[in-house]
Structure 1
Amino acid sequence: MGSVMAAAVMLGACGGDEGASTPLQNESNLDEQLAALLTEQEVRPVEPPAAQDPKRVELGRKLFFEKEISGRRNISCGTCHHPLLGSADGQSQSRGQGAVGLGPLRRHEGESLFLARNTLSLWNRGVAGWDTMFWDGRLAGNPEEGYISPSGDPTPQEFSSALAAFTIIPVTPDEEMRGFPGEPDVFGNPNEMADLTNDDFAEIWPLVVARAMGVEEYRQELLAAFPGTTEDTISILHLGEAIGAFMIDAFTMLDTPFDRYLAGDTEALSDSAKRGALLFYGRASCSSCHTGALQTDFKFHNVAAPQVGTGKGEEAPLDFGRGRITGEMSDRFKFRTPSLRNIELEGPWMHNGAYADLEDTVRHHLDPAASLSAYDDRQVEPELVGTYQKNSEELLSTLAPELAVKGDPLSDKEVVDLMAFLSSLTDPRSLNLMHLVPDTLPSGLPVDD
């Protein structure tokens, strides 16, 4: 038994809320205090997903960066989920069709068109139990219970994970990968997907598959990766499974200092990080929503994120989040709790990229009212400056009660410790994933954006 868990067994459940809200008097027993608290909250080492089929991983790697499967042949999954950008894109809100370049340098040549939300990362999305996708949870499910999705009835139910099911959604919206009517592809040829609508999932997916099968190397690799299939039976399911296999293989990152600590290496965390973990799972109340070892309850909460940016749907420039899916007033401004693994690499932060600094994001959670009052939207993309909606009264009226700090507000020193703990959630392997980016693609289209 690791020394951390052994200490927890000896101490039992002495690290409850009352103990967690009491200032530490003796730092010599940080490990004992933390072990008890982690045991009480059932924070255990994360079980990694099963190894993926190498053929599917390699096929998925190519398809992940392949622009051939987008309507205008100008954008890929990797455009918005790049390995060198924390598996996201480094923008407050993503730029889809009409933009060129990668990450923070990606810009529109004409009128700017932003997608409504910040790009979520892909870290550890293949871990068992990760059944909810998107900020608003509009795609969810698992192989046993089936899947719900924006595509409704046409949604294939044979996916092996919600992550694989997620992959087939971004190819359908016109502002993302499909392209707008009247706009040709990069060669000046007509885009056969463009005149369909965002709801024509069943018509769009076969066209995407035809694009892939039209490239001989992909045709051969798809048939080899999925034995028993024929050219007539290869479908969007198989493309999604391949891309999902690649993302699980590439972005599962479970060798952080915190993982090593949970495995029994008490030297893996600094004293500052240990104090931060005690705050995180104790007095600061972070673990009320960021539960467990992945630091997420997969539920939806209103943390009063500043309403800045384009907004979404009929309520724009506001974004009702989960409320857009359920139609319930009580769900307005709620968004899914993100995992905090590799959180340092994912900026800007919040559902709309409202904060350019992680510490500012943390301080917002500790005192949303003060943070909203002082918010300055000059930290978002230049085109979005001036879009901040000062609706703090409306946001705070349904603020998640879980945010309440137990006891005294955190001092600046305690915030430093909390940040040290968040830093311990970064897997060093994530810092250089250049090897994931292929040099060339079977279609001959460029890898670079």
Structure 2
Amino acid sequence: MSFSTLKAAAVLALTSLTLAPAAVAQTISPDDYIQFDRKQAELGQLLFYDKLLSGNQNISCGTCHHHDLNSTDGLSLGIGEGGEGLADQRHAVVPVSARIPRNAPALWNLGHEDVRVMFHDGRVEQLDSKSASFQSPAGALLPAGLNSVLAAQALFPMSSPAEMAGGTDENPLAVAFDDRIDHGWDMVADRVRAVPDYQRLFKRAFRNVNSPDDITIVEIANALAAFIGTEWQSHDSPWDDYITQGKPLPALAERGRELFFGDAGCSTCHAGPLFTDQNFYAVGVPQFGPGRPFDGDTRPRDLGRMETTKNPADAYRFRTPSLRNVALTAPYGHNGAYPTLRDMIRHMCDPLTTRSAWTPGMARLPQIDGLTGDFAVLDDSEEMARQVAFLDLTPVTMIEDDIDALEAFLNALTGKTALQRPLGRPDAVPSGLSVD
């Protein structure tokens, strides 16, 4: 089958999808989440904000997925290692050669039992219904005993030089990861088990931990998953009241609901209780930043799902994001190209028009002295044409009143208690390092 035939077949499959009536009425409840252990979640909260897990001990999971920013970093493309501060105050304190190539995804409802893929390109995926088998970049080196796909995902930011590990000329942890990924994980565990308070907390949270030697990367990842999976549960939006109690939505949001499940076609992909089918589509979000070149490619572009599958039919495809609490997690797109929800709605309705109107000033990028080339790919006419050729979206005509209505409906997916998290950000962590 030719490359063009593969793409045509994929587009046909996308446009022919229909949403089962039952899916429209689905909502979620506390019973739909993995039942993580509370003590492990409390331990995971500390690990999540502890910079001890990073190579240079200067960045934590919480730096890019912060409570104050609704589990994101508020940026299009952030600064990982070498940065200091949060959101638009984050800046490079040492020379930084590139930004993080993709937007920091929100963490809402990742502990839901239906979640099976992680990252924008789905490179970590649950392969069975018992959360025991996973596909990941680590292959056979992924440790056994992880409690969820969320735990498997938690391992990989630690191993990324740009995100948390740092460079091999900077610290021994980065050297260990560069040697072999599991060697780096072993060293992370060595660091954690050396802290007396963590020894006590792991023994309290895990039945199999009787001595410091029993603390491995598996327990660390499982604690992180327990925290993330319980901390960002959200299922009390006006939409949920509409489904479970029959409480009407505001008039404008009701009009948006009709469009979302009707003429606008949003529910084709944003389906089910999480408002995502967890599949991958090319929607033509304007690309910029360093990209993720692979297999000898030198262009600063991001081929999305293709990097994982190596299938040319997956070029420029990215995972359908969940829309629950989407109004809290700007900017939007796999690289945060659109600063407002309204901008993103417009793009999904008419991607060709919005791409042509997009400007670099719409990106939220912290200043990095000496860094150039953020928008170099925009001057590559062949690459720009290729991205358009791979579009899976069929434009729909929406007037401004329709955009108003869709935006109102998406705001109705915001949980009433979304800003009231059960554990929140800790004031201090066992390592004694600073907390962002």
- TM-score relative to the length of structure 2: 0.87
Verify the 8 A CA contact 1:348 1:355 in the aligned structure 2: yes
Residues 127-166 of structure 1 mapped to structure 2, 5 A cutoff:
127-141=112-126, 142=128, 143-144=130-131, 146-166=133-153
Q: CA deviation at 1:430?
A: 2.1
In the aligned structure 2, how far is the partner of 1:74 from the partner of 1:397?
42
In the aligned structure 2, how far is the partner of 1:53 from the partner of 1:434?
14
Q: Is structure 2 residue 103 aligned with structure 1 residue 103?
A: no
Partner of 1:77: 61
In the aligned structure 1, how far is the partner of 2:178 from the partner of 2:264?
42
Q: CA deviation at 1:180?
A: 1.1
Q: Is structure 2 residue 28 aligned with structure 1 residue 43?
A: no
User: Max radius of gyration: which structure?
Assistant: 1
Cα deviation digits, residues 175-201 of structure 1 (max 9, x gap): 221121232xxxxxxx32132344621
Partner of 1:121: 106
In the aligned structure 2, how far is the partner of 1:97 from the partner of 1:311?
17
The percentage of counterpart residues that share the same residue type is 36
Structure 2: any 5+ residue segments left out of the alignment?
Answer: 1-14
Q: CA deviation at 1:103?
A: 1.6
Q: CA deviation at 1:160?
A: 2.0
Q: Is structure 2 residue 43 aligned with structure 1 residue 59?
A: yes
Structure 1: any 5+ residue segments left out of the alignment?
Answer: 1-16, 21-36, 184-190
Query: Against the structure 1 CA distance between its residues 182 and 94, is the aligned structure 2 distance closer, same or farther, given a 3 Å change threshold?
Result: same
Q: CA deviation at 1:265?
A: 3.2
Task: Give the total of aligned pairs.
Answer: 402
Cα deviation digits, residues 65-110 of structure 1 (max 9, x gap): 0111211111111011101112010111121110100122111124
Verify the 8 A CA contact 2:65 2:73 in the aligned structure 1: yes
Query: Against the structure 1 CA distance between its residues 55 and 41, is the aligned structure 2 distance closer, same or farther, given a 3 Å change threshold?
Result: closer
Verify the 8 A CA contact 1:193 1:204 in the aligned structure 2: yes
Verify the 8 A CA contact 1:173 1:198 in the aligned structure 2: no
Q: CA deviation at 1:376?
A: 0.7
Query: One-letter code of the match for 1:371?
Result: T
Pick one of 52, 55, 71 that aligns with 1:87: 71
Verify the 8 A CA contact 1:372 1:392 in the aligned structure 2: no
Secondary structure in structure 1 of the residue aligned to 2:219:
helix
Pick one of 261, 266, 269 that aligns with 2:242: 261
Let me know the Cα RMSD of the aligned residues.
Answer: 2.1
Secondary structure in structure 1 of the residue aligned to 2:113:
coil
In the aligned structure 2, how far is the partner of 1:445 from the partner of 1:304?
41
Verify the 8 A CA contact 1:344 1:423 in the aligned structure 2: yes
Q: Is structure 2 residue 420 aligned with structure 1 residue 428?
A: no
In the aligned structure 2, how far is the partner of 1:137 from the partner of 1:224?
34
Verify the 8 A CA contact 1:295 1:340 in the aligned structure 2: yes
Partner of 2:6: none
Pick one of 217, 228, 231 that aligns with 1:250: 231
Partner of 1:210: 190
Cα deviation digits, residues 260-304 of structure 1 (max 9, x gap): 11112323x211111101111111011111111211010000001
Residues 42-441 of structure 1 mapped to structure 2, 5 A cutoff:
42-48=24-30, 49-112=33-96, 113-141=98-126, 142=128, 143-144=130-131, 146-183=133-170, 191-198=171-178, 200-230=180-210, 231-267=212-248, 269-313=249-293, 314-380=297-363, 381=365, 386-387=375-376, 389=378, 391-401=383-393, 403-405=394-396, 409-433=397-421, 436-441=424-429
Q: CA deviation at 1:358?
A: 1.4
In the aligned structure 2, how far is the partner of 1:139 from the partner of 1:71?
22
Q: CA deviation at 1:146?
A: 0.6
Verify the 8 A CA contact 1:319 1:333 in the aligned structure 2: yes
In the aligned structure 2, how far is the partner of 1:110 from the partner of 1:301?
37
In the aligned structure 2, how far is the partner of 1:323 from the partner of 1:426?
32
Q: CA deviation at 1:115?
A: 1.0
In the aligned structure 2, how far is the partner of 1:278 from the partner of 1:388?
38
Verify the 8 A CA contact 1:359 1:419 in the aligned structure 2: yes
Query: Against the structure 1 CA distance between its residues 199 and 306, is the aligned structure 2 distance closer, same or farther, given a 3 Å change threshold?
Result: farther
Verify the 8 A CA contact 1:84 1:434 in the aligned structure 2: no
Partner of 1:14: none
Secondary structure in structure 2 of the residue aligned to 1:263:
helix
Verify the 8 A CA contact 2:327 2:414 in the aligned structure 1: yes
Verify the 8 A CA contact 1:303 1:334 in the aligned structure 2: yes
In the aligned structure 2, how far is the partner of 1:312 from the partner of 1:397?
20
Query: One-letter code of the match for 2:259?
Result: L
In the aligned structure 2, how far is the partner of 1:42 from the partner of 1:362?
20
Query: Against the structure 1 CA distance between its residues 79 and 294, is the aligned structure 2 distance closer, same or farther, given a 3 Å change threshold?
Result: same
Secondary structure in structure 2 of the residue aligned to 1:171:
helix
Query: One-letter code of the match for 1:45?
Result: T
Q: CA deviation at 1:144?
A: 4.6
In the aligned structure 1, how far is the partner of 2:178 from the partner of 2:276?
31
- TM-score relative to the length of structure 1: 0.85
